[in-house]
Chains A and B, each alone.
Chain A
Amino acid sequence: MIPAIIVFLYLAIVLYIGIFAFRRGRVSGEDYFLASRSLGGVVFLFSLFGTNMTAFAILGSSGLAYTRGIGVYGLLAASSSFVIPFTLLVIGTRLWGHGRRFGHMTPVQFFRDRWECSAIGTAIFALTAAMLVPYIVIGVMGGGTALEALSAAGGIGGGAADGAGSWVSYEVGGAIVALVVMGYVFFGGMRGTAWVNTFQTLLFLSFGAMAFVIIGKELGGFDEVMARLAADPRTASLLARERIPPAEFFSYFFIPLSSIMFPHISIMCLTARRIDAFRKTVVLYPICILLVWLPSVYLGVVAAGEFPGLSPGEADDVLLRLLTEHTDVWLAGILGAAIMACVMASDSQILALCTMFSEDIFAYYGGKKRFGDAAQVWTGRLFVVVITLVAYLVAMAAKDRVGIFELAIRFAFSGYAALSPVMIAALFWRRSTKWGALAAVVWIAATVAGTWYLHEVTAAIAPRPGEPPVPIVPALGGTLLRSAGGVTVFGMLPVVPMLAGSAVLMWLVSLATRPPSRATVDRFFPEPVPGARGRAGLRTAG
């Protein structure tokens, strides 16, 4: 019961920070949705990092390391340590600049202005919003599951499968988490959400390190644990990258391109007060990744020796199991709060969806002009309530189908990553056109749906974990394979062909269609590159 009480105390602190700690008098649209573009360097770094750290980074990475070994760190953390800060430097700073110059509050506004087209903004809005919804649902599901587990009478795993041994049920836990998140997003907007994320990031960075040291001590030292793992033929392969094929490992490099394309990350890029806030974030981001992911992956491998034989689903709990078995109840409670901090990452996603609805739909179609700034903020707040309620109802109805939402998130990662050529073209290529962007968006939507379909229809032939992949169409040989994890193309994740197809379509279709007017291009490229005008084809545009 003590861990659950500490978690409730944590939720109360979060609610206080989000609602009251940084409240301002009158709230304008820009203040509510973007914190008046006023975030300083430290808050910008920690809130951006905290927003990017979902439950997967802590719980999922440990669970994956339990089954696939230390290679999980290189799979996602190492690639993220380069790709995410790189995109923040190259893309995030430019988005910030356009936001300052033209007053954009969402990426959709930028796309609409850049290509002089309402429809392309609407298409991108529909695709990005649809891919964001599963994250919000799974945030509520994670909250319910975590509170149920933390309040189990016998610690983690002490409750019955139906939650009978816990004094907070899945339904009540999900409702509490949804209400807390809704509370501080509703009242605090971006400012409240950013400060809560900063607090949460500091919590899981500091207490995560503490947990690592204490668990190591309780186990008799990590050297002994590692020696045991190396000596056991069942676990020795976890200490190398044997369980991750090189082609799959390579293709994971492109997944972090999704980060900057998530609406909540690109919108957060607009909140910095100064461009220098990016400088600190870009340089320190890899260190933050190291501090969170290295202990998580390492403890996941350690858990393989401590709790052998767990299924992939059960393996997601290994960090919680290690905490409850090797720390006292007080520390387990504090660390449970740190885990809740990750699970509750849906706050930024709810706010992003509400910002997009308020700006890209309500304001764009004349609502703000007709009803005023205050009405826009209240529309946004109403949307927060509606989206949270819908997410809660879906999470309750689909309690036993969490796998569907996890699958949707995996496909969404690929979808967002494949959108990055659209953003790069909009920011850096004068000759890019709305038709090129539309072709890329249609390609992404079709390939996400197609991959999901292939994944579902090949479920019956899917090999078990550890078994080799099987061809989906035997005549095509190794082109399309079904592995235990999903569909692969030449042994790589579908994100590689999706990304390549998106880039090629953006390029070819742009060259074949009429570019935006010269006035618009000059507006977004105020200092034209000498000699580039002819290649950009602007003369034909005029």
Chain B
Amino acid sequence: MGAREWKRGWVWLAGLWAVMIGLRQDPLFANDPRLLLGVLPAGLAYQAGYTLLATFVMWGLVRVAWPAELRSLEASDAGDTTADSRE
């Protein structure tokens, strides 16, 4: 991955955080006491929907931002301790 792609990736992630923070603030139903279907407060339904949105966001992220290069470590044994400063 080039430096430009790397930087663009971080800008995208920062943008995603800004959007998710903004959506969670809930400008629409935060102070709406109405009940959906007579049982679910509108604000609670909105936040539950936000959680489902987070699921889809994560589903998308594991596709576009998955650290595939780490897969190569699965087969190798742990403990490349040659340069390990623990002991």
Which residues of A are at the interface with B, using a C-beta cutoff of 8 A? 30, 37, 70-71, 73-74, 77-79, 81-82, 85-86, 89-90, 93-94, 96-97, 99-103, 109, 112-113, 116, 118, 222-223, 226-227, 230, 236-237, 239-242, 246, 249-250, 253, 273-276, 279, 282-287, 289-290, 294, 297-298, 301, 359, 363-364, 366, 368-369, 519, 523, 527, 529-532
Contacts and interface: CB of A to CB of B under 8 A. Distances in A.
CB-based closest 8 A-B pairs: A103-B79, A223-B38, A74-B47, A100-B73, A70-B44, A81-B51, A81-B54, A82-B54
B11 to A, nearest CB: 14
Contact of A86 (B3, B6, B61, B80): B61
Contacts, number: 177
A109 B87 CA distance: 10
A79 B17 CA distance: 11
What band does the interface of chain B fall in when counting residues whose beta carbon is under 8 Å from A? 35 or more
Contact of A289 (B1, B51, B76): B51
B59 interface: yes
Interface of B: 1-3, 6, 13, 20-21, 24-26, 30-33, 35, 37-39, 41, 43-44, 46-48, 50-52, 54-55, 57-59, 61-62, 65-67, 69-71, 73-74, 76, 78-81, 83-87
A417 to B, nearest CB: 14
Contacts of B70: 93-94, 96-97, 100, 275
A97 to B, nearest CB: 4
B39 A85 contact: no
A239 B58 contact: no
A79 B39 CA distance: 23
Contacts of B54: 78, 81-82, 85, 286
B41 A363 contact: no
The main secondary structure of chain A at its interface with chain B is helix
B62 A103 contact: no
Contacts of A250: 21, 25
B43 A241 contact: yes
Given A103-B84, A368-B87, A283 B62 contact: yes
